[in-house]
Amino acid sequence: MDAIYRRKWAAAAMAAGLALAGCGMPGAPLPPSLNLPQPVKDLSAVRAGDQVTLHWTVSKRNTDKLLQKGNVQARVCSRQSAGGVCATVATLQLAPGAKGAFSETLPAALAAGAPRVLTYFVELENRKGRSAGLSNGAVVLAGKAPPPVTGLTAEMSKRGVVLHWNPVAGAGKLSTTAVRLRRILLTPPAAKPQTGMLAPAPEPVQQNLLVPAGVTPGRALDPNIQFGATYEYRAQRVVRVTVAGKTLELAGASSSAVRIHAINSFPPEVPTGLAAVATPALNGAPPSIDLSWRPDAETDVAGYVVYRRQEGGPWQRISPAQPVVGPAFDDVRVQLGRTYVYAVSAVGRNGLESARSSTARETVPKP
């Protein structure tokens, strides 16, 4: 028993000694942190007129994945050619995790001449001025920007919103530059949007409409609108240049905004193709004149109204008070041997009625 006890005591003592050694003895030394901010990866740049605006995000951690403490310095620079010097244009102090933004007016030399590539970078530096490298490059075009759009107006038409602006002087009958129209939906979305497979897709809050060069200058139609909504439009001229297989844009300054409430104050199109065919009295059934016409392709048509007159007489409405839904109507209030003249009109969901169609004439045959 003494031997067994001594062996157990020795094993316990050894385990305790190892535990104490692990707590008291230092492990392998860790390399010191350089505290270099992680490089920016989401830099974006937009040029409008002679103004360039940058946006990016400052990482919360350094390259050792440790949380950064205190502000970091963001050096903004631009480079005109690959491999060239990235010239500093500004330095900013930003907190870790902050959204960075910078805007500058291009120097006269960069705002003139032919379109050419200009690349911006952001470099985050620690307190010792050291960094882990430049951000991703954000490319814009230097060079002379197209002139701003002036005189922008908006008006409603049956087909949508018609926009007008002043064309460039000397442009002739066709535009030499593209125009981008930026549309914002100002009407708040419905509290309970429709759901299901047949529900319409929700209208985007912001959309762009590009009017290409080579079209009639100073005019565009936006047909993709919803009646009852309110929209805001801005316009800017755009020069499109292909560089290394990529299409880049040099945009002029944005115009002043115009707003329009899309009210449907237009009647439907006039119905066409009206035809009248007489049916004689058969088997005790009264005679009639069957009318048919081409249905309107418009989605806002509520129905049709049928009119009739006799030779030399006034027009009278012979259809019910509610518009006729389909493009057909049977007139059973006719007399044998009489000649009747017919016309139809379309009624919109807004209650407005179109002009009457071309007439159709038919005589009820005598037996």
Question: What pLDDT, in 10s, does the model give residues 192-246?
Answer: 555 665 556 778 899 999 999 888 889 999 999 988 899 999 999 998 888 778 8
Q: How confident is the model at residue 171 (pLDDT cuts 50, 70, 90)?
A: low
Nearest to 189 by CA among 234, 233, 232, 228: 228
Nearest to 339 by CA among 365, 301, 300: 365
Q: How confident is the model at residue 86 (pLDDT cuts 50, 70, 90)?
A: very high
- 264, two tokens: 């449907």
Q: Is the pLDDT of residue 259 over 90?
A: yes
The percentage of residues in the chain with a pLDDT greater than 90, rounded to a whole number, is 66
Q: Where are any strands of DSSP class E within 58-115?
A: 72-79, 87-94, 99-105
Q: How confident is the model at residue 300 (pLDDT cuts 50, 70, 90)?
A: confident
What does the pLDDT average to over 115-124? 94
Question: What pLDDT, in 10s, does the model give residues 46-62?
Answer: 999 999 999 999 999 99
Single-letter code of the amino acid located at 267 = P
316 and 308 Cβ atoms separated by less than 8 Å: yes
Q: How confident is the model at residue 122 (pLDDT cuts 50, 70, 90)?
A: very high
Cα radius of gyration (the chain): 38
Q: How far is CA 143 from CA 77, 99, 146, 241, 346, in A?
A: 18, 29, 10, 11, 55
- Residue 315 β-bridge partners: none
Q: How confident is the model at residue 44 (pLDDT cuts 50, 70, 90)?
A: very high
Which pLDDT value is given to residue 32? 59
3-state secondary structure (DSSP) of residue 321: coil
Nearest to 260 by CA among 233, 282, 240, 279: 233
Single-letter code of the amino acid located at 300 = D
Question: What pLDDT, in 10s, does the model give residues 327-364?
Answer: 999 999 999 999 999 999 999 988 999 999 999 999 99
- 209, two tokens: 């409409």
Record the pTM: 0.69
Q: Is the pLDDT of residue 22 over 50?
A: no
Q: Is the pLDDT of residue 135 over 80?
A: yes
Q: How far is CA 322 from CA 256, 275, 325, 326, 344, in A?
A: 46, 22, 9, 12, 14
Question: Which residue pairs, CB below 8 angstroms and at least 24 apart, start in 293-300?
Answer: 293/327, 293/328, 293/344, 293/357, 294/327, 295/271, 295/326, 295/327, 296/268, 296/269, 296/271, 296/346, 298/268, 298/269, 298/348, 300/227, 300/264, 300/268, 300/348, 300/349, 300/350
